[in-house]
């Protein structure tokens, strides 16, 4: 089973959020860049939980930005969490961050 959670905020940029969560969770985020996502930040925890922080606005093909999560156009930065099992302690930590809200959770 894989658990995916998406959190969002409009009070921080992806870079600011990466710095805040790095301190709070004691993890190191690596800055990455892709043609599809633009600049994003990635960390993998000891239990293989993956944390990806990215802007909601991603580069579009027509020189205009598209929204990664178009259901939440007011959200400027996203945290995508992927883990093998439900990570409740991590969810509690993320939910305690001011302005960060769980937008969606799926289990496959």
Q: Enter the pTM of the model.
A: 0.90
According to the model, what pLDDT value does residue 47 have?
78
Give the chain's mean pLDDT: 90
Q: Give percent above pLDDT 90 in the chain.
A: 57
According to the model, what pLDDT value does residue 57 have?
92
Enumerate the β-bridge partners of residue 31. 41
Average pLDDT over residues 71-84: 93
Task: Report phi then psi at 68, rounded to 5.
Answer: -65, -45
Number of compact structural domains in the chain: 1
**CATH number reported for the structural domain that contains residue 101 in this entry:** 3.30.160.110
**Dihedral sign of CA atoms 45, 27, 51, 29 in order:** negative
* pLDDT surpassing 80 at residue 106: yes
Domain that holds residue 79: 3-107
Question: Roughly how many angstroms between the first and final C-alpha of the chain, as a whole number?
Answer: 5
* pLDDT surpassing 80 at residue 88: no
* pLDDT surpassing 70 at residue 87: no
Please, which residues have CB within 8 angstroms of residue 77's CB and are 6 or more apart in sequence?
Answer: 8, 9, 10, 12, 13, 14, 16, 17, 53, 54, 55, 56
């Amino acid at each position: 089973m894989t658990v995916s959670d998406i959190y969002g905020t409009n009070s921080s940029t992806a870079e600011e959020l990466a710095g805040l969560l790095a301190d709070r969770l004691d993890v190191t985020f690596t800055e990455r860049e892709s043609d599809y996502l633009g600049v994003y930040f990635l960390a993998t925890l000891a239990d293989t939980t993956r944390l990806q922080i990215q802007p909601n606005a991603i580069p579009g093909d027509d020189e205009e930005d598209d929204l990664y999560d178009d259901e939440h156009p007011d959200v400027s930065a996203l945290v995508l969490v992927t883990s093998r099992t439900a990570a409740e302690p991590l969810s509690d930590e993320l939910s305690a961050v001011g302005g960060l809200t769980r937008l969606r959770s799926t289990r496959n």
